[in-house]
Amino acid sequence: MSQQRTDSSASPVFPDLPEATVARLPEYLRALHGLAQEGHDTVSSEGLATAAGVNSAKLRKDLSHLGSYGTRGVGYDVALLITQIEAVLGLTKHRKVALVGIGNLGHALAGYGGFASRGFSVAALFDAERSQIGERIGTLVVRHIDELAEVVAAEGISIGVIATPARAAQQVADQLVGAGVTSILNFAPCVLNVPSGVDVRKVDLAVEMQILSFHEHRKALTALPVPPEQPAGEATGS
């Protein structure tokens, strides 16, 4: 009981933070870490926006949504802003991740340092193939998928990463959800059905490539098929 109202710097709750803003906060955080590394104590919205690759007005509005602490005429305190954003994103609490599907991609993910550098730790690896079980990667050992529920409960894992073939992804997702996982990052190219309350994010390489392909196609079509309609045109160049 006693929901202490945490007037000071406790976990703030932002139920109505725009999703577009949430998606940009990690970018700001990365840019801020870079600035801190370079010794900056404060940064203007313009400077931070440039480092994050966004419009400065958008950045200011984003930060204003979380009641940010900037100082007019000066800018934002880098260290304070890092703390604030990390609190909003819930990065103060270390979150454990289960990685399922230790194949081509799974091996790369398992050895990736980008998890730990933020507030995440890969706590367990799972696969279905006997040949993979028991393999040691870093400090972890690949376990059989049947142990998932047990390990998730024991380790307090809340996030699952799916790196299995697409045909196995839905079943794995079901198992993750059944084990108590409430967030899933899916690398398999397929849609996942999960109960409400479970968040799924998808990373699909093929989709990204095809979007690039479209723009390549468009560039090729708009650049070439503009033949000299008016051959009498004057200065066509510079």
Ligand X SMILES: NC(=O)c1ccc[n+]([C@@H]2O[C@H](COP(=O)([O-])OP(=O)(O)OC[C@H]3O[C@@H](n4cnc5c(N)ncnc54)[C@H](O)[C@@H]3O)[C@@H](O)[C@H]2O)c1
Stretch that binds a second copy, among 36-44, 97-105, 124-132, 134-142 (CB under 8 A): 97-105
CA distance 49 to 160: 32
Stretch that binds ligand X, among 44-52, 75-83, 122-130, 219-227 (CB under 6 A): 122-130
CA distance 150 to 224: 60
* 65 CB burial (10 A radius; 0-12, 13-18, 19+): middle
Task: Candidates 17, 54, 128, 149: give the one binding ligand X (CB under 6 A).
Answer: 128
In the range 138-177, which residues lie near a second copy by CB under 8 A? Answer: 158-159
Answer yes or no whether residue 47 interacts with a second copy by CB under 8 A. Answer: no
Q: Which two tokens stand for residue 188?
A: 């398999």
Residue bearing tokens 């880098």:
78
Q: Which long-range contacts (CB under 8 A, 24 or more apart) does 81-85 make?
A: 81/28, 81/32, 82/29, 82/32, 82/33, 82/36, 83/9, 85/25, 85/28, 85/29, 85/32
The residue ranges that bind DNA (CB under 7 A) are: 1, 18-21, 43-46, 54-58, 60-61, 63-64, 68-76
Output the smallest distance, CB 49 to DNA, in A: 9
CA distance 34 to 29: 9
Contacts of 32 (CB under 8 A, 6+ apart): 43, 48, 78, 81, 82, 85
Output the smallest distance, CB 130 to ligand X, in A: 9
Site map 86..115 versus ligand X, x via CB under 6 A: --------------xxxxxxx-xx--x-x-
Stretch that binds a second copy, among 39-47, 129-137, 145-153, 206-214 (CB under 8 A): 206-214
Q: Whose CB is nearest to ligand X?
A: 103
Task: Candidates 36, 80, 140, 168: give the one binding ligand X (CB under 6 A).
Answer: 168
Angle at 176 between CA 174 and CA 179, to 5 degrees: 110
Which residues are at the interface with ligand X (CB under 6 A)? Answer: 100-106, 108-109, 112, 114, 126-129, 132, 145, 163-166, 168, 171-172, 187-189, 205
